Structure 1
Amino acid sequence: MTLDWNTRPLSPHIGCEVLNADVRRLSPALKDLTEALIYTHHMLVFRDQDLTPAELLDFTRLLGEIDGSHVQSEFTHPEYPDIFVISNTQREGRPFGTKMVGHHWHTDWAYKARPASFTLLYGAEVPARPHHTLFASQRRVYEQLTEEEKADLRGRQAFYRYEKTHGVKHWYAPLTEAQKAMTPTVSHPMLRIHPGTGKEGLFVNRADCVGVSGMSEEEGVAMVDALVERIVDPAHVYAHPWRPRDLVMWDNRVLLHAATPYDMENDRRLIYRTTTLGERPIAPRPEVAEPLAG
């Protein structure tokens, strides 16, 4: 089966627009072409998709195992708990989902032992006024690192803790003991091998980073901060302008992303989010994580 898609790169480092696609027509060819495109462009926009929540889940499952272990499970879809709802709308007189999420640069679920591979957002309703999601490439900065910098990073792991990123979300309730038990501190190599391409790449996340092996907490967090600032250089950020019925998908192993504000009082927004379970990040060579320095 051949898929007759029209595609167009969206920026030099990030993004590909896909036209003439219908992701409801599940097939091995659909999976193969989607993976080929995302491994090249890291982020895809499927235009004009008419998806029910069940159809979004079907397409997500085609791409990998869904990770439905949401820490904030109160914001999941009541009929489809594998879908996280981002919305300022109401359902039966009650808020449906969460109004605010992801308004900082991050890669999804670095605080898990197996971080997210792909994230998919379906714009069932989007604000009429301009509204964007921002993307920045870790690969671009990896390619600028000197060999000495790469050699130094290959021997290091960064430590991540969900409580740190949750603590700045003052609109969320405090974590319960069960939620804390779900999210112990984890470590990941700062350089990792992408399982789909075999390429080495940078992998850091500022929002929940609490340190780097072989450094004091302050030094480690500062190192990650400096790398993230290089990644999110505005000159290289792709800002995706949302249209109704966009299906946006990206590779968390390569990109950082951030939501932008919108008028929550006057503009309606209903986004369905699904996420596929990633692998334990693969270090460039076998290594044992050092303890977090005091």
Structure 2
Amino acid sequence: MNKLLTVQQHSRLGKEVLRDCNLASITDQQVEELKQSLWEHGVIVVRKQKLTASQLKDFAIKTFGDSTIGRRPKPLDPEIAPDLQSPGVSILGNPKGLSGEVAGKIAWQWHHDKDHLPKTEGLDMNALYVVMLYGVSIPEEGTDGQPHTTEFLDMVEAYHNLDPQHRQQLELLSMYHLSPISPQPGVEIPRKLHPIVSTHKVTGRYCLYLGSDTSILKGLENQPEVAKQYWQELFEDILDCTPVYAHIWQPGDIVFWDNSQVMHTGMPYNANKYKRIALRVGVMANS
């Protein structure tokens, strides 16, 4: 799989917003500005933040609504600073120190985040699911020697970059999507259909939605290898005609992305050499 172009500046993705704003004391007007920027740009960043996990969760609730999806209270980990822990906030990286054990390696492949939507009854797969990732401690470089990044694909742009005949074919197709979160033993893994081409609930733009390589094209439910090959070939077609935007992390960045509009992948780093701590919150947005 060859990336034709990786860009650090993108015509739409990665807009910096709310400069000099402390998100712990965000105003209602700033909330609306942030949300409108997110729907318009797909990926936005607020820099120079210094928040605890509880403050990040409170900000997420105030901004996007009080979603209880995925908020599972659990005891504090004594090996991790209390300020980094709060129900509903995930810790990615190696917060316990230099070690090959990294939380969140599952994100080191291209995917959309809609973690709980497939297994939550009554939720539309096209619902607005926003993820925010707060970079507390950033590695100096990735395994390729370049700055530490997260990469994004604009799936609105990707739709328009495909030739018209291919777009028309995709508009007739849907895929089944599974939650990446493993179920308890004996629990059947639920899945929901999502059209490959959908209409964004706020902007009305056409977007491609692929989930991840575990997605199954409707009609190929009993042919998992064929389904995986179809997904990979479709994704390669998209990657060949759509530039990849790389967000270069700085400590204190909070990057927000709208999973109806973008795919993303985390990038590997040497966890035996560098410490990485990122706090992640995923919320159902109330538009």
TM-score in same-fold range (> 0.5): yes
| Aligned counterparts, 1:57-206, within 5 A | 57-61=57-61, 62-69=63-70, 79-90=85-96, 98=103, 100-109=105-114, 112-113=117-118, 114=123, 117-129=129-141, 130-162=147-179, 176-177=184-185, 180-181=187-188, 183-206=189-212
Question: Partner of 1:265 in structure 2?
Answer: 272
Question: Distance between the aligned counterparts of 1:202 and 1:50, measured in 2?
Answer: 35
- Unaligned 5+ segments in structure 2 are 1-7, 142-146
Is the Cα–Cα contact under 8 Å of residues 110 and 160 in structure 1 kept in the other structure?
no
Is the Cα–Cα contact under 8 Å of residues 114 and 129 in structure 2 kept in the other structure?
no
Could you list the structure 1 runs, at least 4 aligned residues long, displaced by more than 6 angstroms after superposition: 73-78, 94-97
Is the Cα–Cα contact under 8 Å of residues 213 and 228 in structure 2 kept in the other structure?
no
Is the Cα–Cα contact under 8 Å of residues 207 and 261 in structure 2 kept in the other structure?
yes
Percent same amino acid among aligned pairs? 23
Question: Distance between the aligned counterparts of 1:56 and 1:234, measured in 2?
Answer: 36
Q: Match of 1:109, SS?
A: coil
User: Which digits, 9 at most, give the CA deviation of each residue in 1:254-275, with x for residues without a partner?
Assistant: 1111011111012111110000
Is the Cα–Cα contact under 8 Å of residues 153 and 191 in structure 1 kept in the other structure?
yes
User: Which digits, 9 at most, give the CA deviation of each residue in 1:138-169, with x for residues without a partner?
Assistant: 1111112344433332332101234xx67xxx
Is the Cα–Cα contact under 8 Å of residues 215 and 228 in structure 2 kept in the other structure?
yes
Residue 111 to residue 147, structure 1, CA distance change in 2 (3 Å): farther
- Unaligned 5+ segments in structure 1 are 1-8, 167-173, 280-294
Question: Distance between the aligned counterparts of 1:15 and 1:38, measured in 2?
Answer: 9
Is the Cα–Cα contact under 8 Å of residues 110 and 212 in structure 2 kept in the other structure?
yes
Question: Distance between the aligned counterparts of 1:96 and 1:74, measured in 2?
Answer: 21
Is the Cα–Cα contact under 8 Å of residues 87 and 270 in structure 1 kept in the other structure?
yes
Is the Cα–Cα contact under 8 Å of residues 140 and 231 in structure 1 kept in the other structure?
no
1:224 aligns with 2:236: no
Question: Distance between the aligned counterparts of 1:82 and 1:161, measured in 2?
Answer: 20
Comparing 234-243 with 126-135, greater Cα deviation is found at: 234-243
Question: Partner of 2:36 in structure 1?
Answer: 36
Residue 155 to residue 41, structure 1, CA distance change in 2 (3 Å): same
Question: Partner of 2:244 in structure 1?
Answer: 237
TM-score by length of 1: 0.75
Question: Deviation at 1:176?
Answer: 3.0
